Structure 1
């Protein structure tokens, strides 16, 4: 009696396994998005609460020394929370990139089993950067701009970095006020604090984008483009 599994049954089992893994990755991506939005909402809630509390203190102290001391402390807490939030968002973005590559690999397996279905796929079946960008709906010509400042500002970590840098600038201005600096010096201190904080966060984010996990090296790279005449 033969114990070999019929080809049709083996193919069906392979598709079931791949589909199960695919749905698992989709659910994981959804959880990643939920955590990202939750982290951003938590930070904005903390920032809003700090601003409201400072407004009440300002009414009581009339922007005196007590207000400046309390404001520096509270904004420092907001700043630290913001930096940690940006760090977590960067980690979640890396996780999401990993899940996209994993789904591209599964899609590649689908096409290995049924290559005739390739014209019906909009997303990519290649697990390199161009393939991930195609799945994410980003033009392949934008691959070299992925780590640019302009693209970074459109992401959650980038937008949050602007807010965090603004908090850093506000702290710098308050410190200058505490030392009795004139208005021009206070303004310049705030601007310098904002620029320095934003540049540090931008460099940090760029390095996070450029440094990929070695385990994510392409197994199914995109085919080279045909030469244009």
Structure 2
């Protein structure tokens, strides 16, 4: 005769509810990833089509006034589409951060019911920033501002922001060339437009990361590390 004590009905029901919510958040995260990749593919398709179209126009007009007018207009449209795409990716990243915090809270509930399972968890049961980064696999130890900047460039919004900034640089160079500026001025105009676009996109992205919803305040923060 078995001596194991069956789980209490209340505990079993709680586990079932938590597991259902966990699977729901996992499915929502998958949809978030799909939309992110779809947005990036759409922008790159538009950019590729614009470049091919401009190559055909350049062959027909031999880089005449019509080419500069069409190129500036088309690249301006691509630039705007890129900005809107980056904005949507930032929103999707905030949504993904929300789902990660939700799953961390569920793990906290799992451990409340069965604290003996804590050694088997790789991800964090805490819903503060450190816990979310642990779940996302982002190392926080020894990270400085330079490291954070390079990590931001590795994300989808960061990489796409560089491409959008390059499009902005192309627009700046084309405007200067359209006014008949010498090659050096055209190059400097393109570089200046690229730098301004990159700095603007970077500042916008950093503000987006810092601006979190009040509903994401930590309810189950992790233990504070003693000062060293």
The answer to whether TM tops 0.5 is yes
* Deviation, structure 1 residue 148: 3.4
CA shift at 1:42, angstroms?
0.2
- Taking a change above 3 Å as real, the CA distance of residues 72 and 155 of structure 1, as seen in their structure-2 partners, is same
> What residue is the counterpart of 1:88 in the other structure?
88
Alignment correspondent of 1:46: 46
Show the counterpart of 2:14.
Answer: 14
Deviation per CA, 1:137-171: give whole Å up to 9, x if none: 11132666599321210100000000000000000
1:12-51 superposed Cα distances (whole Å, 9 cap, x missing partner) = 1000000000000000000000000000000000000000
Distance 2:203 2:68 in 1: 30
Which stretch shows the higher mean deviation, 142-151 or 23-32? 142-151
Sort the Cα spacing of 1:77 and 1:227 in 2 relative to 1 into closer, same or farther, 3 A: closer
- Which structure 1 residue ranges, 5 or more long, are not aligned? 1-5
Cα separation, 2, equivalents of 1:213 and 1:30: 22
Partner in structure 1 of residue 118 of structure 2:
118
Tell me if structure 2 keeps the 8 A contact 1:176–1:185.
yes
Structure 2 Cα separation of the partners of residues 108 and 226 of structure 1: 22
* Aligned mates of 1:123, 1:195 — CA distance in 2: 38
2:215 paired residue number:
215
RMSD, aligned CA: 1.6
Q: TM-score, normalised by structure 1?
A: 0.94
Could you say which residue in structure 2 is the equivalent of 1:98?
A: 98
Equivalent in the alignment of 1:55 = 55
Partner-residue secondary structure (3-state), 1:63: coil
Q: Cα gap change, 1:147/1:206 in structure 2, threshold over 3 Å: closer, same or farther?
A: farther
Aligned to 2:203: 203
C-alpha separation between the residues in 1 aligned to 2:100 and 2:22? 10
Distance 2:174 2:216 in 1: 45
Distance 1:213 1:143 in 2: 24
Give 1:74-85 correspondences, 5 Å limit: 74-85=74-85
Question: Secondary structure of the residue that 2:112 maps to in structure 1?
Answer: helix
Please state whether the residue corresponding to 2:8 is helix, strand or coil: helix
Alignment correspondent of 2:187: 187
CA contact (8 A) 1:145 1:151 kept: no
Task: Report SS of the residue matched to 1:141.
Answer: coil
Q: Between Structure 1 and Structure 2, how many residues are aligned?
A: 223
Structure 1 residue 7: Cα displacement:
6.9
Aligned to 2:149: 149
Given that residues 89 and 157 in structure 1 are in contact (C-alpha distance below 8 angstroms), is that contact kept between their aligned partners in structure 2?
A: yes
CA contact (8 A) 1:29 1:99 kept: yes
Q: How far 1:95 moved relative to its partner?
A: 0.3
